[in-house]
């Protein structure tokens, strides 16, 4: 697995390999009121097939609205066996993890255990220090909103060496943060702009653990997944390289070859991107969050306040506190996130009217535009 740690959790790249698997869309319906009209479904199916034709191994969309759910898939869940993308597929959700852990922090804010505008030094003394980095000047809000200026730990040479033994290594968040802050300097002063850095969310996980005394995974389970009944959503154990079934294989194009990246050491992603979920459960989570079921009104308002454009991401993603305001062609107000991790890419969002859409792709290195188009079509399709 020489591709091993080319692991920018939100950055998709590489050259797509067309797999000629178009016109193979399958779909499932619930018996509840349907969230997408026949005309809208046709548009979404066309977008799914186009994404596969453009290079994705497989793509699935799940649309939830008004108590109903509709899902459709195109392409393959397993190129080698020809198996379809499984219904209710579990996939690695990458940076959608950030919204889960940010929600935990906002619950801690509501409980009076964390202050958003307090310096991170208060909670993690001596941790956030380095060249141009001072934890007394960087607030919890800066960390949550990517306005801290902290360098990207995923750029560490040891994470990009191609050493196959790293697959079996336990990656400790504190060690990775320490390495990043002692070998790389700050990118800008706190609050000067917003620049996506996964280092921020390793620190969010550490903050949760320091304040609660529990692993961040336990707090996510206790506070979010169990209350919402999200039985397929979890943080893998550090030595659990696989994904619980049913799941598609996850693929990555490396040096022009498509390789299977289903097994992956997600401890390297930690609180920045380690979680696994399904499209239906992602929709349930984002809907519950945005409808006020997980946070008091004041904290939900803070979570969405003053979203800022990310200077190192494509236009159309304005970031607040673990939530992003997403631009779509039809102009609807959409809040959500998204994720990218070796083998998988996800797009997630909920409209102001309550339509929730999750798009799951089992290949990260294909061009993001066709999968983004599936999301946009499902959000904007006429009900």
Residue 112 is part of a domain; what is its CATH number? 3.40.710.10
- Whose CA is closest to 276, among 59, 93, 88? 93
Predicted local confidence at residue 263, as pLDDT: 92
Give the total number of structural domains in the chain: 1
47 Cβ partners below 8 Å, 6+ apart?
Answer: 370, 373, 374, 377, 378
Predicted local confidence at residue 25, as pLDDT: 64
Predicted local confidence at residue 227, as pLDDT: 98
Which segments of the chain have a pLDDT < 50? Answer: 1-24, 31
CA distances from 234 to 7, 64, 243, 335 (A): 20, 21, 10, 22
pLDDT tens digits for 193-234? 999 999 999 999 999 999 999 999 999 999 999 999 999 999
d(CA 225, CA 190): 33
Tell me which residues are annotated as active site: 95
**Does 17 reside within a domain?**
no
Predicted local confidence at residue 14, as pLDDT: 28
**Does 317 reside within a domain?**
yes
In Å, how far from its chain's centre is CA 97?
Answer: 5
Task: Identify whether the C-beta of residue 45 lies closer than 8 Å to the C-beta of residue 72.
Answer: yes
Predicted local confidence at residue 35, as pLDDT: 80
CA distances from 271 to 37, 178, 309 (A): 37, 16, 22
58 Cβ partners below 8 Å, 6+ apart?
Answer: 21, 52, 73, 74, 75, 76, 77, 84, 85, 248, 361, 362, 363
**Does 357 reside within a domain?**
no
DSSP string, 127-146: TSEETTEETTT-BHHHHHHT
pLDDT tens digits for 22-64? 334 667 665 456 688 888 899 999 999 999 999 999 999 999 9
Q: Both tokens of residue 25?
A: 């869309």
d(CA 182, CA 178): 6
**Does 159 reside within a domain?**
yes
Predicted local confidence at residue 158, as pLDDT: 87
**Does 254 reside within a domain?**
yes
Predicted local confidence at residue 9, as pLDDT: 37
**Does 300 reside within a domain?**
no
Predicted local confidence at residue 84, as pLDDT: 96
**Does 294 reside within a domain?**
no
DSSP string, 292-345: TSSS-HHHHHHHHSS-EEBTTS-TTEEE-SS-EEE--TT---EEEEEEEETBEE
Predicted local confidence at residue 216, as pLDDT: 98
**Does 137 reside within a domain?**
yes
d(CA 271, CA 205): 5
- Return the SS3 of 180: helix
Predicted local confidence at residue 33, as pLDDT: 61
H, E, C per residue of 181-193 = HHHCCCCCCCCCC
**Domain enclosing residue 186, as ranges:** 26-284+305-326+333-347+363-380
């Amino acid at each position: 697995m020489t591709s091993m740690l080319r692991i920018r959790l939100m950055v998709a790249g590489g050259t797509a390999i067309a797999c000629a698997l178009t016109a193979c869309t399958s779909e499932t319906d619930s018996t509840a009121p349907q969230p997408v009209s026949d005309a809208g479904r046709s548009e979404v199916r066309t977008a799914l097939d186009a994404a596969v034709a453009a290079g994705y191994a497989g793509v699935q969309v799940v649309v939830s609205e008004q108590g109903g759910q509709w899902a459709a898939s195109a392409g393959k869940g397993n190129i080698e066996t020809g198996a379809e993308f499984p219904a209710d597929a579990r996939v690695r959700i990458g940076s959608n993890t950030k919204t889960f852990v940010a929600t935990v922090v906002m619950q801690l804010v509501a409980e009076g255990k964390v202050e958003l505008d307090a310096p991170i030094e208060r909670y993690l003394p001596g941790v956030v220090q380095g060249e141009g980095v001072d934890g007394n000047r960087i607030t919890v809000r800066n960390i949550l909103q990517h306005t801290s200026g902290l360098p990207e730990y995923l750029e560490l040479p040891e994470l990009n060496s191609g050493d196959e033994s790293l697959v079996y290594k336990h990656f400790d968040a504190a060690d990775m943060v320490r390495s990043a802050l002692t070998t790389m300097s700050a990118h800008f002063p706190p609050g000067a702009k917003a620049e996506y850095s996964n280092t921020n969310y390793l620190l969010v996980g550490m903050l949760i653990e320091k304040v609660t005394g529990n692993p961040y995974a336990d707090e996510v389970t206790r506070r979010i997944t169990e209350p919402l009944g999200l039985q397929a959503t979890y943080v893998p154990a550090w030595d659990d390289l696989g994904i619980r079934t049913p799941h598609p294989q996850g693929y990555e194009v490396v040096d022009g070859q498509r390789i299977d990246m289903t097994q992956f050491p997600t401890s390297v992603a930690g609180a920045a991107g380690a979680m696994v979920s399904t499209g239906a459960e992602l929709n349930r989570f984002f809907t519950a969050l945005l409808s006020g079921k997980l946070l008091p009104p004041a904290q939900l308002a803070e979570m969405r306040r003053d979203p800022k454009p990310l200077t190192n991401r494509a236009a159309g993603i304005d970031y607040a506190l673990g939530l992003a305001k997403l631009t779509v062609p039809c102009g609807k107000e959409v809040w959500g996130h998204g994720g990218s991790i070796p083998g998988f890419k996800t797009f997630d969002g909920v409209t102001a009217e309550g339509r929730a859409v999750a798009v799951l792709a089992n290949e990260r290195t294909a061009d993001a535009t066709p999968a983004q188009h599936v999301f946009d079509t499902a959000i904007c399709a006429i009900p």
